[in-house]
Amino acid sequence: MRVHLDRWRALVRERREQMDRQLAALGGPPEDWWADRASFFTRGTGDAAASPPPGLEAIVERLERHHTLIDVGAGAGRYAVPLSRALRHVTLVEPSPAMGRLARDQLDGAGLDNWTLIEDGWLDANDLDPASAVLFANVLNPHEDLEAWISKGLALARGWLFIVHGSIPEVTPHMQRVARELHGEERVPQPGISHLIPALHDLDVYPDVVMYERRFARSYADA
């Protein structure tokens, strides 16, 4: 019995089906989901004064200069830029063209050349060389096949598989009120840390866990 893994899969599917319905009512999804959102993820990247992304310091503490890392769903380089400064080589795996362009800009702008960008999805990316570590930072939420993601990560990580995963407070009363006003129904939650850890146990993966507090702030234009 893999009840927690099944629960993860069901929750992701339910949320995706809800989003598909809502996007269809608005004319369908964009070709690149991240095209209009990508620039949001460059804030603070490369800025020494900015707060590091969650978990970065713990990752760097566990690795050494000669190590390599695969950053899965690397986005605009929020983790890849500082990790490229600390490690011998970072491979970014990122399917979004918009995110990939921004990651290149961030890495080039930082004067870094010890990186490779693979423009593909994680499960579709072939011929990846093993690395000292694999990083999943805030990328697991929309994927039903958690087992395939984790299995590939473990197969390619010589030492560490790092997962940064949080619980997004979008099912709080005020967020659900916004969802009802916009879509006429409450939003299905994303699977959070309370879903991930039991699902990993179903896969006989027992992680060391470091907890962080993260503050969220969202604003909405008046209708």
pLDDT (tens digit, 9 = 90+) per residue, 166-214? 876 656 666 667 666 666 666 777 899 999 999 999 999 999 998 887 6
Sorted by sequence, the CB contacts under 8 Å of residue 3 that are 6+ apart come out as: 202
Residue 116 placed within a domain: yes
Nearest to 82 by CA among 60, 113, 49: 60
In a domain, 14, yes or no: yes
| Residue 210 is assigned to a structural domain of this protein | no
Report percent pLDDT > 90 for the chain.
64
Q: Is residue 126 part of a domain?
A: yes
**DSSP codes of every residue in 197-209:** HHHHHHTT-----
Note whether 169 and 87 are within 8 A (CB). Answer: no
CATH number, domain with residue 13: 3.40.50.150
* Confidence band for 43, pLDDT divided at 50, 70 and 90: low
Q: Which two tokens stand for residue 2?
A: 């893999």
Q: What is the DSSP string of 47-94?
A: -TTSPPPTTHHHHHHH--TT-EEEEET-TTSTTHHHHHHHSSEEEEE-
Query: Is the pTM value of this prediction over 0.75?
Result: yes
Residue 207 domain flag: no
On the question of pLDDT at 67 being above 60, the answer is: yes
Counted domains in the chain: 1
Supply the mean pLDDT for the chain: 86
Structural domain including 45 reads 3-202
